[in-house]
Amino acid sequence: MNDLRQVATEYATHGLAVIPALPLSKEPAVSWRAFQWEPPTDLEREANFANDRCNLNIAIVCALQVETSR
């Protein structure tokens, strides 16, 4: 497992929606909008970070809106 995949796995264990970003950029390397509500599955995350030769960055997807109970 490459280092970035290890970091992504660690972040995911804390409930974060982790996706790859393009090298030297904050631009997502994958479609990310669905992950605002559901984080990537383990298989999706592994596939997203499988290519260790791309020099990808890591990004955290934040929710569009969080509902609070009143």
Specify if 68 maps to a domain: no
Specify if 66 maps to a domain: no
Contact 59, 14 (CB under 8 A): no
> Which DSSP category does 25 fall into?
S
What percentage of the chain exceeds 90 in pLDDT?
56
User: What is the tally of structural domains in the chain?
Assistant: 1
| Chain mean pLDDT for the chain | 85
Residue 17 β-bridge partners: 61
Domain residues for the domain of 19 are: 3-61
pLDDT lower than 50: segments of the chain: 66
For residue 16, what are the CA distances in angstroms to 11, 53, 54, 70? 6, 24, 22, 25
The DSSP bridge pattern shows strands 17-21 and 57-61 to be: antiparallel
Specify if 69 maps to a domain: no
Give the domain CATH number at 28.
3.30.720
Specify if 25 maps to a domain: yes
Distance between CA atoms of residues 60 and 18, nearest Å: 5
pTM of the model: 0.80
Give residue 3's identity as a one-letter amino acid code: D
Specify if 67 maps to a domain: no
